[in-house]
Amino acid sequence: MSNIQQVAKNAQETAKKLGIEKFDIYGSTVDDTSVQVDQGEPKQVKASNRSGVTVRVWNEENTMGVTSTTDVDPKGLELALQTAYEASFFGVKENVPDFSPEATLPIESTSKDKFAQAPVSELIDKLLLAEKELLDSHPAINGVPYNGLSQRDIERFYLNSNGALRKESHSLASIYLYSKTEQEGKKPRSAGAYRVKENLGNLDIAGCIKEAADKTISHLDYQKVKTGRYEVVFSPEAFLSLLGAFSNLFNAQNILDNQSLSQVDDLGKQIASPLLSVYDDALHPANVGAETFDGEGTPTRQIKLIEKGILTSFLHSAGTAKRLNAQPTGNASIGAKVTISPNFYHVFAANTTEKEFSLQTAENVILIDDLQALHAGVKALQGSFSLPFDGWLVNKGEKISIDSATVAGDFLELLKSIVYIEKEPELTPGGVCPRIWVGELSITGD
Amino acid sequence: MLINTLLISSQIPNLNYSSTTERFDQTWEAPLATLLGLGRAAGADFVEFFLERRNYISCLAEEDIITSISPSFSTGAGVRVFHGKADCYVSTNNLTFAGLKAALEKALSILGLQLPIANAFIPEIYLELFRDYGNKRGKDSWLPLCTTIREMGEILLEGTAQLHKKATHIQSRRASYFRDWQEVLVAASDGTFARDIRLTQSAGFSLLCADGSHRTSISERAGNTSDPNFLKSWDYEQSADQIAESAGKMLYADYVESGNYPIVMANHFGGVIFHEACGHLLETTQIERKTTPFADKKGEKIAHESLTAWDEGRSDNAFGTIDMDDEGMPAQRTLLIEKGVLKNFLADRTGSMRTGHPRTGSGRRQNYTFAAASRMRNTYIAPGAYTNEDLFASIDKGIYCKKMGGGSVGATGQFNFSVDEAYLIENGKVTKPLKGATLIGEAKEIMNKISLCSQDLELAPGFCGSVSGSIYTTVGQPHIKVDSITVGGR
């Protein structure tokens, strides 16, 4: 992307030419490279450098329009500003979005280091080695059909006509390995693992290989599970994916739009087991891709969503905060309609329990490792879910892989049915969370 | 190899091409031919450029207010270079000659190739006579003929007003619309040089109803390619009627009891079963990854003899219709399964090269940031000989899946999809409504259990996500009977 100051200058000049006095711009540039391999050979290498901005324009009647573009040269910006201006006359007349009151507040430590990208040949070599080690880890593993090693530099900025100007950049490196087995007379089985870090040098490739191998091998011997109600243990990733699917619980915009399981006056209510605390914590030290401001320029921060089972806060944009007499929380993305999303969940045990739960001693519990097809099986506005999963039936520490089953329930009931939260947190792409034990859920198998 | 006049590499920085990003026309022939020649001279086996311009707008009405109008513009290009078994794809926003050359150079260098040294002769690639699908069927004038922002707003508000009239216990009602106009240009070192314009539109409703602890949410969507007047002719009254009726029935529905049942799946979006359970597994991408059980089954019976299925590039104005694919090949009509026997796979260029199956005009991608891959277009189960009454009459106790949600298929052929509107079948009759059902199974097994196909084929728009991003597709089928399937519930 052109120099951000240059974009700001171009925007100011173009806006002046068009008679636009009030506008803001959020933009980003992503420079990434990724490789895939197949049976010892490089398969595909991808590289891209792409930019995009979203501009919002307020007209003389103070209604707002928006336009996005990938063309950030003066001509592209002019078209975007002009189109946004034209669209502004069709904008909402009530609760018109406005600049965040926090867009100009100072932010500490606004910039992370970008790391020099490794040569593509190094990415290919590391991934070929990872594939080989995974294939060598068990004779039944005959392929790693989904794999990738990538590195990415991200630059982002926010500016507005009131003088706000924020920018930051960071780097990410990530690997995923998804292996598959083939054994005579048995169904193919598969499992995978993912790791992310700031740079390739620190990326835990060995851990990713081991996790993918261990999980895949653990599914080799499988059985149908009897349909019924079981105590269920969610892996950190599975619990966070479900929490994410029902994030309308905390989303102030969804609440105002009647598109949420929560209502405005639910703050202070016990919605979960007293064992559970959930924070949204963009700046958590484990959040590799931490961003210090949102799409409205509001600084990100830690938000206590659930404390000891009590709903304590919602996630806000500048607009919802104004309407609900709260503070913006740094979770907004700009558009004609500002959207809100969580940054990085931190789930932990709020209280200790008298009884310790352990997979070494528990009998006939279902350990869910990975939930699938959340886009289809979650009814986010009804609160219900019915989802296929990968997992095991665990009996006093012995794990038997489950063949083709679904788990179903009501998310609000699930939150209240949490009976134990383990102590050891795990880092996942969506946040930090330990394993979560839930009283009883419906499992459909045989 | 087709070779034009020879350039000298040192001349390239001084070339002044007049091609414009306002329109992808024949002025792009010279610069692209030069760049393709550069790639070949560097040692690439094959080079392809994909250029894209997009003009998109979406509009949302909530209750009786337009709450969002979001236009967006994008331009970009991707260059794909093959060298031996490896290929590299580089994308950029920069459509100047220098920008495209930089992308090419990056792709070449990643594959260990270098642009020719100064004073080397550069073979310019002869491109075919410009194949311009963009000037057919009036496509060049589609964009200005589309609905204006004001008209969008008016129609959507009339739609939400209809919902208000028809439904009860409304908690929220929404109508949405998007128009996606796309111009693409493909040029490749085998001489391919083609342009197309696509216009994809969709309008729909979503309705949330609640009564005490009873809640239901239902969505419905119509889609179209090729008709600038689509929104004006959208029958929102009928759509509002249907969605209100569904919501009314599902609001107080019981949860389905899990187990194995025979089911009848309705036509229209019911076709998602074939899309997920079989269609994806017939893409050569899956053969390359060794994630399809059908890889070596061409010519063999893989499904019940009652089942014939097609994937076609053009089905009137259906949502997955394309004149050419994103590799410049005219879209074909592909017979996938005939009376249970596997006839063809869906192949893009790479898939064809790596698996030997012929290309079918199925190379598709979300946008210029993705390399094309073999993907479905308009995919459907052909009509059979039975009536819907025959299907229901054959079941003593089962489930009627009237309205399907989305689904997915995994690396081992296990598929799943959700049912948004279901009913119990008792003694051949449809009885009480049921909610919370998910269908799961193995692709290899389920295809042999589709035993009866009715005659009432209907197509429905869908969005398909896979290796080359999210694309517009059509699913479809007549009512079908599946002899037994696992239904997840409570």
Residue A93, Cβ density class (10 Å: 0-12 exposed, 13-18 middle, ≥19 buried): exposed
Look at residue A418 and tell me if it is in a domain.
yes
| Residues A274 and A197 occupy one common structural domain | no
A359 shares a domain with A227: yes
Backbone Cα Rg of chain B: 25
Minimal CA separation from B136 to chain A, in Å: 28
In the numeric block, which tokens belong to residue B362? Answer: 């199925």
Q: Residue B395 corresponds to which tokens in the numbers above?
A: 């079941």
Assigned domain for A114 exists? no
CA dist., res. B438 & res. B421, Å (int): 11
Residue A407 one-letter amino acid? V
**Would an 8 Å CB–CB cutoff place A87 in contact with chain B?**
yes
d(Cα B250, Cα A99) in Å, to the nearest integer?
42
| A188/B208 Cβ within 8 A | no
Q: What is the pLDDT of residues A168-221, one digit of tens each?
A: 999 999 999 999 999 998 988 999 999 999 999 999 999 999 999 999 999 999
User: What is the distance in angstroms between the CA of the first residue and the CA of the last residue of chain A?
Assistant: 55
Phi, psi (degrees; rounded to nearest 5) at A16: -60, -45
Q: Are residues A141 and A184 in the same domain?
A: yes
Q: Which DSSP string do the residues of B270-326 spell out, in sequence order?
A: GGHHHHHHTGGGGBHHHHHHT--TTTT-TTSB-S-TT--EEEES--TT-TT--SB-T
Q: By CA distance, what is B53's nearest residue in A?
A: A70
Q: Does residue A97 form part of some domain?
A: no
- Domain-embedded: residue A40: no
Residue of A55, A75, A406 to mutate, testing the B interface (most B Cβ within 10 Å of its Cβ): A406
Question: CATH second-level architecture of B139-182+196-253?
Answer: 2-Layer Sandwich (3.30)
**Helix, coil or strand: residue B108:** helix
Which residues from A are below 8 Å from B85, CB to CB?
41-43
Indicate whether A309 and A323 sit together in one domain: yes
State the Cα–Cα distance between residues B488 and A402, nearest whole angstrom.
Answer: 15
Residue contact B208–A381, C-beta within 8 A: yes
A70 touches chain B (CB under 8 A): yes
Residues of chain A contacting B75 with CB distance shorter than 8 Å: 70-71
Nearest to A303 by CA among A292, A288, A290, A314: A314
- d(CA A299, CA A186) in angstroms, rounded, equals 53
If asked whether residues A399 and A314 sit together in one domain, one would say no
Domain total of chain A: 4
For B465, which residue in chain A has the nearest alpha carbon? A375
Interval A24-44: pLDDT, tens: 999 999 999 999 999 999 988
Chain A residues in contact with B89 by the CB 8 A cut-off are 44-47
Residues B187, B130 contacting (CB under 8 angstroms): no
Comparing CA positions, the residue from A210, A213, A144 lying closest to residue A179 is A144
Q: Is the pLDDT of residue A435 over 90?
A: yes
pTM for this model (two decimals): 0.92
- For residue A434, tell me if it sits in a domain: yes
Closest residue in chain A to residue B251, using alpha carbons only: A382
The predicted complex's ipTM stands at 0.89
Q: Which of the listed residues A295, A316, A349 is the one where a domain comes to its end?
A: A349
Query: Cα–Cα distance between B398 and B259 in angstroms, integer?
Result: 10
In chain B, whose CA is at the least distance from the CA of A65?
Answer: B69
Say if CB A443 and CB A432 are below 8 A apart: no
Interface of A with B in 231-260 (CB under 8 A): 257-259
In a domain, A110, yes or no: no
B240 backbone dihedrals φ, ψ, rounded to 5°: -65, -40
| Token reading at B291 | 């994630």
Residue B450 to residue B304: CA distance in whole angstroms: 6
Report the distance separating Cα A241 and Cα A233, nearest Å. Answer: 14
Q: Name the minimum distance, in Å, from the CA of A303 to any CA of chain B.
A: 27
d(CA A87, CA A102): 26
Q: Does a structural domain hold residue A109?
A: no
Q: What is the pLDDT of residues A59-112, one digit of tens each?
A: 999 999 999 999 888 888 999 999 999 999 999 999 999 999 999 999 976 556
Instruction: Please check whether residues A175 and A202 belong to one and the same domain.
Output: yes
- Digits of tens for pLDDT over chain B (490 positions)? 444 456 676 666 666 676 677 789 999 999 999 999 999 999 999 999 999 999 999 999 999 999 999 999 999 999 999 998 889 999 999 899 999 999 999 999 999 999 887 777 777 789 999 999 999 999 999 999 999 999 999 999 999 999 999 999 999 999 999 999 999 999 999 999 999 999 999 999 999 999 998 999 999 999 999 899 999 999 999 999 999 999 999 999 999 998 999 999 999 999 998 998 899 999 999 999 888 999 999 999 999 999 999 999 988 889 999 999 999 999 999 999 999 999 999 999 999 999 999 999 999 999 999 999 999 999 999 999 999 999 999 999 999 999 998 888 877 778 888 899 999 999 999 999 999 898 988 888 899 999 999 999 999 999 999 999 999 999 999 999 999 999 988 8
The candidate with the shortest Cα–Cα distance to B369, out of B101, B54, B92, is: B92
CA distance, residue B114 to nearest chain A CA (Å): 15
Q: Cα–chain-centroid distance for residue B160? A: 28
A29 to chain B, any CB pair closer than 8 A? The answer is no
The token pair that represents B269 in the structure block: 């979006």
Q: Of the candidates A181, A32, A336, which has an alpha carbon nearest to the alpha carbon of residue B58? A: A336
Interface contact A71-B73, CB threshold 8 A = yes
**Secondary structure class of A244 (helix, strand, coil):** helix
Same domain, A124 and A216: yes
CB-nearest partner of B66 from A51, A68, A90: A90
Taking the CA atoms of residue B287, residue B289, residue B294 and residue B296 in that order, the dihedral angle to the nearest 10 degrees is: 60
**Is pLDDT larger for residue A281 or for residue A351?**
A281
Closest by CA position to B189, among listed B82, B40, B307, B299: B40
Asked if the structure places residue A106 within a domain, the reply is: no
Chains A, B: CB contacts under 8 A, how many?
218
Q: Is B281:B402 a contact under the CB 8 Å cutoff?
A: no
Domain with CATH 3.30.160 in chain B: 139-182+196-253
Residue A237 is part of which domain span?
Answer: 223-242+354-444
- Same domain? For A345 and A435 the reply is no
Q: A364 CA to chain B: closest CA distance, Å?
A: 19
With an 8 Å Cβ cutoff, are A373 and B72 in contact?
A: no
Are residues A231 and A379 located together in one domain of the fold?
yes
> For residue A162, what is the domain's CATH number?
3.30.2290.10
- Same domain? For A165 and A204 the reply is yes
The tokens describing B312, both together, are 């076609």
Contact A48 B90 (CB under 8 A): yes
CB A257 within 8 A of CB B62: yes
Token output for B412: 């081992």
Rg, C-alpha atoms of chain A: 24
Reading the block at residue B247, the tokens are 């919501």
